[in-house]
Copies of this chain bind each other. A is one copy, B any other.
Amino acid sequence: MASVTTLPNPSAPARPTEWVLTLSCPDRPGIVHAVSGALAEHGGNITESQQFGDPVSGLFFLRMQVESASDRAELEAAIAEVAGRFAMTWELDVVGRPVRTLLMVSKAAHCLVDLLYRERSGQAPIDVVGVVGNHTDLADHAAFYGKPFHHVPVTAATKGAAEDRLRELVRELDVELVVLARYMQILSDGLCRDLSGRVINIHHSFLPSFKGARPYAQAHDRGVKLIGATSHYVTGDLDEGPIIEQDVERVDHSRAVTDLVSLGEDVERRTLARAVRWHAEHRVLLNGHRTVVFH
């Protein structure tokens, strides 16, 4: 699938870069042809493409990976021209560029350990630039993976200050993605709004079942035969944000609440890991209060 474009400088042929383009716009004929045309003019070779037209919202969603030796400015100009005609919201990135990520934790280690291990082993294109804990229990795990640990305790009295500190970290560390990796605090409405579409949470139930506190105790009491986990974007509306991924694990009557908590760790960590990877690979697009996931 080598690109056969004419390169700007034949004496030093650039290796083509692989780009990922995501966009959404009102659905109408000609979108794919226009986009593929704009890319073809820059020697782009489409290596992956997925699309979805939502008959309910009337919106069209596209994700393309394209190899091109053109530079970012050229590509952006070409896309911008098409985007203007179709009223597109769009984003261009280099495939595999690690997304600057801040992990927020409390005391439970499983999601943190899993994400740090996946970063190190190349299973998720993230660059964890720091770990924030409202407790210090997990500082050693952060240290092992060479990550700065920021202790930001939260009490009713200090909640405002804690969020200020969080905003500061997001700014200073140039954070693109915040992952609540079993962070047991609720973010304020204001912060949710400011970081909209950039905060991923893992809820330890199969939403919308068992919203709120102690979902495994609720699940046990209801006698469900499967427990689940839900990874979603955080909005001001608690446990109501757009769902990215869900998974379940079978349980039976013999499981106590503590067993559910323990079994749940596996499904939580793999559900969150998928959501984080797909987000970092630009596979998740927002469609109102729902998501389009091109995996």
Contacts and interface: CB of A to CB of B under 8 A. Distances in A.
A176 interface: no
A14 interface: no
A32 B49 contact: yes
Contacts of A109: 117, 121
Copies of this chain in the oligomer? 4
Contacts of A140: 144
Contacts of A225: 243-246, 293
Interface string A37-60: 101100111111111111100100
A165 interface: no
A253 B292 contact: yes
A206 interface: yes
A213 interface: no
Contact of A291 (B32, B207, B208, B253): B253
Interface residues of A, number: 71
Interface in A13-70: 27-33, 36-37, 39-40, 43-55, 58
A289 interface: yes
Contact of A253 (B4, B33, B210, B287): B287
Contacts of A222: 207-208, 243, 290
A87 interface: no
A17 B253 CA distance: 24
A223 interface: yes
A76 interface: no
Interface stretch (A127-135, A154-162, A262-270): A262-270
